[in-house]
Structure 1
């Protein structure tokens, strides 16, 4: 047993590389212990074990933060950064919630003819007149412009009936769809040399089918009217009806915004001059102010035979 302990002590001492005294001096001068004595080996083993137990107790008394190295500890974010992140998420949540509420349940538009409606209509018309495209076309000598159906407006006279409905009020786009909730702004630009028609208009919240999206029927009505205006201005009779209308909806048209309708006559070499006076294909697009196409249209307009239609006046 002493031999085994002696060997273990020698291994521990060699690994520690501790200097060993050549001779152990006992407190009693008459007793001398040699370096290779088993008693000295047991004493050295006891000393090493005591040191190990002391280190373990010291480590147990230390806190976990002190034991772990700085590389292994993850510093907590500053309190200011946490408050900033919470504030950003709060603002995003409120903004998204408000936008979703106004999209699914938009506010009720003002009643037609009310003071609020008149004020909003004036503001929209002022904003439309200041658009860069409107100002550019207004200064172009190749185009003439007017507000939609402004040629039908006439001041009331003493012979007018109290409940008489004017021509402007009877038109769907200038009567039921008038005011800030409908089509408060419709500016028409016509190029007599090319026959092109450019209409700049504003879709109010009352034209929506799905909340925030213009009804497809309202778009069809506006395109039919704009393309028909392009064809009728080419007919000598200044009248005509829609024979065919083709639409391709490319992307949703949102309410409360300005849009552009472009209409161009489609020349057909097979049709002679007499035929073009009574029949004409017109193509057009409804675009955003940035030029993105929302709807593509193509229509055929004819002057019916055997039916006398009243010619449309200038400025329709």
Structure 2
């Protein structure tokens, strides 16, 4: 007699639900395989067993690829801004307005300087000094080298039309005219100078009068020239300067500054002098005009120990 085995499978609700899910997944897999093998015309074939959502890194890769594509693409050129047309300069001989001020100013300066030169040369004091054999005439400011003259206060800054119109005229006694011996036994020449200069209208202080500071500068300039012949190196620096003003100076006039070295001791030299405003001569002379002493001065000059290292200012 045959023996039949009966297999009894006990299922629980959870087990049956699990089998149901598995069977559904199998059916879905078969359908997807069928769709991939026989795709519809309107749908693209799909890869089997691919998840419906891409992994997280897929979006990053797509962004990177888009950036690479943008970087590979040629840069967009910005619109070109039209340049303005170049400026054309007028030809050298075009009809431009002339500037006559340059030539006119030069002519005026030359005329004024020539007039002052004539006034000084024809003045009776000038003619008397030129006839005196004890005096030697010079124009020290003209002997200063041009690079030094441009930076010099008197010969450069204060010189020119409407200021110190022309370089001053200087007459000095010759070195052999008189001499003395100091306590150290060294011979020094006692010198005397006469300086004539013209002051223009642009060096005033109070309206109608010459600035007192300018007169002090002229004393210092003339005194230094006077003591140079009494010092071994020919160079003295101002140690003390006193000026006593007597009358105000008037611009547009000639002035005479007399200086005399009165004492020399070693490297020290004392000098004194007076400044006179000369009366006008010829047609410009006023009735009853006389020479007027404007100021008197005295000073002490010292020969510096480093005189050999100083660049000489004058050539004579």
Report the TM range for the smaller structure's normalisation: 0.5 to 0.7
Q: Larger Cα Rg: Structure 1 or Structure 2?
A: 2
Q: 1:113 to 1:152 in 2, by over 3 A?
A: farther
Aligned to 1:139: 131
Q: Secondary structure at the match of 1:224?
A: helix
- Conservation of the 8 A alpha-carbon contact between 1:118 and 1:179: no
1:313 aligns with 2:314: yes
Deviation (angstroms), 1:212: 1.9
1:149-228 pair list within 5 angstroms: 149-152=141-144, 166-185=147-166, 186-192=168-174, 193-194=177-178, 195-228=191-224
Aligned to 1:26: none
Aligned to 2:261: 265
Q: 1:248 to 1:122 in 2, by over 3 A?
A: same
Deviation (angstroms), 1:114: 3.0
Partner deviation per Cα, 1:104-154 (whole Å, 9 max, x = no partner): xxxxxx99963212211111111111111111111211110112312225x
Aligned to 1:9: none
Q: Secondary structure at the match of 1:212?
A: coil
RMSD: 2.3
Deviation (angstroms), 1:306: 4.6
- Conservation of the 8 A alpha-carbon contact between 1:239 and 1:310: no
Q: 1:267 to 1:123 in 2, by over 3 A?
A: same
- Conservation of the 8 A alpha-carbon contact between 2:140 and 2:314: no
Q: TM-score, normalised by structure 1?
A: 0.55
- Conservation of the 8 A alpha-carbon contact between 2:144 and 2:313: no
Number of aligned positions between the proteins? 188
Alignment counterpart, residue 232 of structure 1, candidates 228, 233, 243: 228
Q: 1:131 to 1:306 in 2, by over 3 A?
A: closer
Q: Secondary structure at the match of 2:230?
A: coil
- Conservation of the 8 A alpha-carbon contact between 1:238 and 1:311: no
Q: Secondary structure at the match of 2:205?
A: strand
Aligned to 1:279: 268
Q: Which runs of 5+ in 2 are unaligned?
A: 1-101, 179-190, 279-289
Distance 1:177 1:305 in 2: 30
Aligned to 2:55: none
- Conservation of the 8 A alpha-carbon contact between 2:148 and 2:313: no
- Conservation of the 8 A alpha-carbon contact between 2:244 and 2:296: yes
Q: TM-score, normalised by structure 2?
A: 0.55
Partner deviation per Cα, 1:261-295 (whole Å, 9 max, x = no partner): 00001126xx4xxx1xx110100110122443111
Deviation (angstroms), 1:234: 1.4
Q: 1:112 to 1:166 in 2, by over 3 A?
A: farther
